[in-house]
Every structure is written in structure tokens, then in C-alpha cells.
Chain A
């Protein structure tokens, strides 16, 4: 229950942040602009809307996760609000999980609003919706897990570092995570066993954001297998659990000077 109260307060904190509305507005503008772009792409209208729309959900969701996530714990320590909170009967792990779930709920609401905008754009274009458009929800589900992973990384860095460094570390991992498959490919090509081994270690150690990206097949309304989605979700849950575990260990041992 205490986790729920901390999460609800974190949600309240996030929805009172101006940056959230700015990012959401940009995302909605980007989705709306896909309608204009689709006008000049003959026969590709639907693809453009889904492609641009889902990319906006992923990109702006990531920005929200990073911008708000990096301040989640740091602000509590910097502004010393954590002092009166941790003196109350709560465990430090409850605090971390509460903060994480609070931001996740904020992201869920934002993703829901952006997804509704994509469907509204599709409805406007095709004068109705089809069952095949339901595929978009699979892509949104995986984007949400991608955001959950990014949030957990931002939270981990924010539990021991400054917002600027936390943003840099998270963004760095987000970039690398999108090229993780190339790392494996590079390892296979190289003749050095050391470099190949190193690439293998990094491939498994660093987050693989490729597992969550099904925007292209969904934009073409190609079927996506449930096993792929299930495996990606399981991967996301496991990675988030590991990252949150690290955050808890770091936070548990912190001294608040």
C-alpha cells in the first residue's frame, strides 16, 4: 500500500511538470503532421501515419522517461524531501519501487493518449477502423516495455548521480541498445577472439532495444507472432528487474549527508 501512495505522489509530481505537457504536445503535433505527410505519399498514407505515429510514441515517451526519470530520486535527495519521508515507516525498496511505478503510470497515460491520437488519425484517413489496426496495440505494448526499461535505467543512474550525468548515461545506453544487434554482427566478423568475446559480453550485458521494435512490420500491417511479443515482454521484465535490483542495492547503501 505504501508503494501505491509513493507511486500516486510521483504521478502527481509528474503531471505537474511543464516538460511533460510540452513533450506530449510535440508528440501529438508529430502525429497530426503525419496526416499532412500522408497526403503527399500516394498509396502509403496508412503506413506513414502508423510509422510516424509509433515513432513519436517511442521517441517522446523516451524523452519523458529520461527527463522525468533522471530527477525522480535526485530531486528528493537534493531538495531533502527524502529526509522526512525515509524517517517514516517505509523501507528504502518501497520508496524506489513507488517512484518507479509512479513514473511508469505517467508513461502509461501518455502512451494511451498518443495511441488514441494515432487511431484518431487513422479513423480520419480511412473513415473507420479495421481489425487489422489492432496490430498497432502490439507495437505500443512493446514500446511501453522499452520505456519501462529506459525508466529503470534513468532511475538507477539518478539514485547515485547528477541529473546531467544520469541523462547522458541513459541516453548513451539507449543509443547503444538500438545498435546492439550490430555489435553481435561485428563480433562475428572480427578475427580477434578477444574482440569477439568482448562483443558477445556487451551484447548480452547491454539492453537490446531491437527486441521491442516492431514498428516496420506493424506499419505494413504484417502479422506479428505472439511468441515474439511474449519473448520481448519477458526480456523486458527480466532486464527491468535486474536494473531495479541494482538501483535498490545502490540506494540501500546510500548515506544522505
Chain B
């Protein structure tokens, strides 16, 4: 079942005050997300990620194209009873306490007082801010606001969860907790659609990713298909290598870093590594490790961005990015 479906979704904005100029924040975006997937939505600032999410949440109207969630058009309000949404850098009613805010959200979904109390208490504990439930939100730190944001997105046991930059503003512990919450949701069969700048999180969580640049889809697919699993280079670490040999090693390497006596070298292939080992022996050095380097999502992402920019140079990219973000 297609849980999210976007067909030729396009959004134009008008910029400028007197002489308005149109710019395209989203350009005929087509995307499908299957049930139970964790789907990562990647792109630089202003690529159109937040614009897409806002259209899905009915905060923006598309200029053209259409979108469905759970096989219902997004204009159907009833479908929003089955989804959860965490906006980017969330800000909530600062005069309410955490408990009051979640109760308010629960009542909007039509839950009775007893059910609201139960869900509120469970969620506050689940996101680790149970102790701060009676504290006004104005006294919450950025990380706590992010957590209460996640809690409000889960108040209705959603079937689809939309998270806009859920890891931003969180410390490593908070990031790990959000990652665990996302994985728990997947175990419950929830489809998770999230945008992020933190590529290691995307890499560790997502089944599939879509990469967006300047409002256009650059690539979309399974991480295993997108990232070539073959070894792209070898990382070699050695220490106490005598100067003439260490200089030769640095010349051989694709990339070399010296940290005190320690040398970090990135070698192109096995042949170069053999040559390097010989030099280390000759230089009375000690080999610490040799590790294969595979292409990471970050490498792929940067490459995809470069290719996309090369295909579509100029076009006021910076302007678009800022206005569309």
C-alpha cells in the first residue's frame, strides 16, 4: 500500500515587494512511500523539504500537482486524525505546561479526559520529560521542546509520522532517544517520513531515501542500492615512521593527515597498500590498522549535489534555497 504519494507537486512563491518575481520552490516532485518504511528526505537548505512537508500538512497550497496520504487526498481533514507531525524547530504555547499542552492536543483528536490523561502521562515518560510535566513550556530547553514536539506528534498513535528535522537541537543522548522512538514506531508498523541534515542518522535509520535539490528530485531509492557497497579506498594508520619514508607515504596517499607521530593515509588500492607496508617496515614504523572505506551517504549526497548543480547551474539557486526553506 502506498502510504504517501506525490504526483507532480509544484510550488511557486512570489518574492519581492513591488516587483514580484516568481521562483519555484518545488518542481514537479513525484514520490511514493510504502507502508512501514522509514523514509529519509534529504537535501541542502532550501531544497524544498519543508515546503513538501508543509503542503502535506495543508499549511501551504500547491501551485499544481496532487498528494495523497493513506490513499486519501491531503485536503481530506479526516486523514489528519491518523498522522503525526513534528514541525522544524518547534515552538509551542509557552504559557501552557507540558502536560496541559499534550492534553490540549489529545482533546483536539477527540479523546475523552481519562484517555487524554493516560496518553499524556505515557508519552511524557516515553520522551523522557515526565519530571517537567508541570513546568511551563517557556522554561523548556530546546531539546525538551523537541521532545514535547515528538510527544504531541505521537498523541494519536499515528499510522504515518512526519518529522521535520527531528534531531536538530538535540544532544547525542537526545538524538539516540529520538532514534529509538523512530525504531519503536516502525516496529508498531508506523510509516515514518523524516527530513534531516544529519546524514549518519538517516543512514542508520532509513530503508529508503529521496534526495532533493532546488525543488527537484535528484535520486530516490533503497540505501543499499544508492550506496555502492564496494570498497572505494583503504585507510591505513601507522606510527613512528622515519622522515624519508613518511614523506614518501604521504605522496602515495590520496589523502594524508599527520597527528603527532601518527599518520592517517587513504590509499587507492591493494597495490599501493603493499608499497606502503614496505615503506613502513623500512622506516622502522609500526602499523596500527588497515580498514576498507566504503562510500557513505555523506559522500553520495555531496556527489549528487555537485552533479545536480552542474546540470542546473545558475538559476538563482541561493535565492531559491533561502526562500523555499
A: residues with CB less than 8 A from B are 1-2, 5-6, 9, 12-13, 16, 79-91, 253, 255-257
B87 at the interface (CB under 8 A from A): yes
* Other 20 A-B pairs with CB < 8 A, given A84-B86, A84-B90, A89-B109: A1-B110, A2-B110, A5-B107, A6-B108, A9-B93, A9-B104, A16-B95, A80-B87, A80-B89, A80-B91, A82-B59, A83-B54, A83-B57, A84-B105, A86-B57, A87-B57, A87-B59, A87-B85, A88-B109, A256-B54
Q: How far is the CB of B1 from chain A (nearest CB, A)?
A: 21
* Pair B85/A84 contact, Cβ less than 8 Å: yes
Question: Given A2-B108, A5-B107, A88-B108, are A81 and B92 also a contact pair (CB < 8 Å)?
Answer: yes
Q: How far is the CB of A220 from chain B (nearest CB, A)?
A: 44
B286 at the interface (CB under 8 A from A): no
Question: Given A83-B87, A87-B80, A257-B13, are A12 and B96 also a contact pair (CB < 8 Å)?
Answer: yes
B60 at the interface (CB under 8 A from A): yes
* Pair B93/A87 contact, Cβ less than 8 Å: no
Chain A contacts of B59 at CB under 8 A? 82-83, 86-87, 255-256
Chain A contacts of B77 at CB under 8 A? 89-91
Size class of B's contact patch?
20 to 34
User: In the bound complex, how far is the Cα of B52 from the Cα of A66, in angstroms?
Assistant: 36
User: Which chain B residues in 26-57 approach chain A with CB under 8 Å?
Assistant: 54, 57
User: In the bound complex, how far is the Cα of B192 from the Cα of A81, in angstroms?
Assistant: 22
Chain A contacts of B100 at CB under 8 A? 12
Return 23 A-B CB contacts under 8 Å, by A number: A1-B110, A2-B110, A5-B107, A9-B93, A9-B96, A13-B93, A80-B90, A83-B57, A83-B59, A84-B86, A84-B153, A85-B108, A87-B87, A88-B105, A88-B108, A89-B77, A89-B78, A89-B81, A89-B109, A90-B108, A91-B77, A255-B60, A256-B54
Chain A contacts of B96 at CB under 8 A? 9, 12
User: In the bound complex, how far is the Cα of B37 from the Cα of A4, in angstroms?
Assistant: 36
Return the chain B residue nearest A253 by Cβ.
B61
Return the chain B residue nearest A255 by Cβ.
B60
User: Which chain B residues in 244-278 approach chain A with CB under 8 Å?
Assistant: none
The 0/1 profile, CB within 8 Å of A marked 1, for residues 102-133 of chain B is 00110111100000000000000000000000
User: In the bound complex, how far is the Cα of B61 from the Cα of A190, in angstroms?
Assistant: 49
Return the chain A residue nearest B164 by Cβ.
A83
Q: How far is the CB of A63 from chain B (nearest CB, A)?
A: 21
Question: Given A5-B107, A257-B13, are A87 and B58 also a contact pair (CB < 8 Å)?
Answer: yes
Return the chain A residue nearest B108 by Cβ.
A88
* Pair B54/A79 contact, Cβ less than 8 Å: no
Chain B contacts of A80 at CB under 8 A? 87, 89-91
Return the chain B residue nearest A85 by Cβ.
B108
Q: How far is the CB of A19 from chain B (nearest CB, A)?
A: 13
B66 at the interface (CB under 8 A from A): no
B217 at the interface (CB under 8 A from A): no
B234 at the interface (CB under 8 A from A): no
User: In the bound complex, how far is the Cα of B111 from the Cα of A1, in angstroms?
Assistant: 11
